[in-house]
Amino acid sequence: MRTEPILAAAITPPTADGGVLAEADAMLARGRARHAERLLAPLVGREPENTGAWHRMARARLDLGDLGGALLAAQAGWHLDPYGAESLYWLSQARSRLGDHAEAIAAAAAACREDPGNPRLHNRLAEAQLAAGLAADAAEGLHSVADLAGYDADLLVTYGLALFAIGRPLSAREAVGRALAIDFGHAGARAALKAFAMAMSSAVDAASLAVAADEFGESLRIHPGQGAVRRPGAGQDALAHVARVALLWFLAAVAGAGILEAAGLLVAPASLYLALVSAAGVAGCVSALAGRSRRTV
């Protein structure tokens, strides 16, 4: 529903590895979760008590769709800091994605109690409730928070989603409009407006509006196993890399043969050109298919 913000300052005391955490934050902000995970793995192995590193590892694995690994990382951070709002936040995130809604809501509610003035935590609680199909609870919980934290665009978008899911499309648009007033390019807000428009296309009266709202609320739910996203493994990445390198070499061979033949230094049969061009075409297809798979999973 929204892109997670860069993590706040680490809960753990500053260490010599603070630079690693900052670099991991930068990678996560740029969408390079795989690189962040690889960067953090030696750190959590060397410093298993580093709570901030476990938080970032949980986020990286969530971004990669490794929900089991994300839960393990979130639990490691939670065991180190069981009352910490950040630890509870990531535990709730991992539980929600796995469809463990009771645990996700309980963890988010506990985080809100630990830091009641933090809108990010109230937003997490509402997201957990929406994922569980409890749109009315989410809307009610954000009603007063949205007034106090009207500066938080992410929270306003979640509030708008909850309002639409309980059949209040005008209020939902108003909430999302407030989010866009804060951040005109907010991707979540713009996606929400498109989703509202699509849902409303079938609403012609009160009865059909109720159906549209119910269907919209259902679309926000996460069922057990639904949140898992398959990601390409190292083997697929290696295949794509080898294919790209092979394509470049085959194209260079075609160009080299043409230059030598033009200079009178080589007489190349047509079959050689045909073989090189065919090989380049195969390598190009493999590279394109591997790249497309990475983008669509």
Mean pLDDT within 117-137: 96
Return mean pLDDT, the chain: 82
Confidence label for 97 from pLDDT (cuts 50, 70 and 90): very high
Q: Predicted confidence band at 257 (pLDDT cuts at 50, 70, 90)?
A: low
The whole-angstrom separation of Cα 291 and Cα 272 is 28
Q: What is the mean pLDDT of residues 12-34?
A: 80
Per-residue pLDDT, 12: 40
202 or 260: whose pLDDT is higher? 202
pLDDT at 15 over 50: no
pLDDT at position 228 is 46
What percent of the chain has a predicted confidence (pLDDT) above 90? 65
Distance (Å, whole) CA 50 – CA 13: 9
Residue at token pair 């009865």: 207
Global pTM? Answer: 0.70
Lowest mean pLDDT among 77-91, 132-146, 185-199, 266-280: 266-280
- What's the confidence (pLDDT) of residue 99? 95
Stretch among 103-112, 201-210, 278-287 having the lowest mean pLDDT: 278-287
Cα(66)–Cα(58) distance, integer angstroms: 9
Encode pLDDT of 128-173 as tens digits: 999 999 999 999 999 989 888 889 999 999 999 999 999 999 999 9
Asked if residue 166 lies in contact with residue 139, where contact means CB atoms within 8 angstroms, the answer is yes
pLDDT surpassing 80 at residue 62:
yes
Whether 100 shows a pLDDT value over 50: the answer reads yes
The Cα 158–Cα 124 span in angstroms is 9
Give the DSSP per-residue string, 208-234: HHHHHHHHHHHHT---TTTT------H
pLDDT band of residue 9 (cuts 50, 70, 90) is very low
More confident residue, 278 or 192: 192
- Is the pLDDT reported for residue 261 higher than 80? no
Distance (Å, rounded) from C-alpha 49 to C-alpha 71? Answer: 17
Kindly report, residue by residue over 193-251, the tens digit of the pLDDT. 999 999 999 888 999 999 999 999 999 999 887 654 333 333 344 445 445 555 555 56
State the alpha helices, DSSP H only, in the chain.
18-29, 33-46, 51-64, 67-80, 85-98, 101-114, 119-131, 135-148, 153-165, 169-182, 187-200, 206-219, 234-262, 270-296
Can you tell me the distance from the alpha carbon of 86 to that of 8, in angstroms, rounded to the nearest whole number? 9
65 pLDDT above the threshold of 90 = yes
Whether residue 120 has pLDDT greater than 90: yes
The pLDDT of residue 148 is 85
Residue 37 has pLDDT above 80, yes or no: yes
Within 8 A by CB and 6+ apart from 24, the residues are: 36, 39, 40, 53, 56, 60
For residue 280, what pLDDT is reported? Answer: 57
pLDDT exceeds 70 at position 273: no
- The tokens for 208 are 């059909």
Residue 142 has a pLDDT of 95
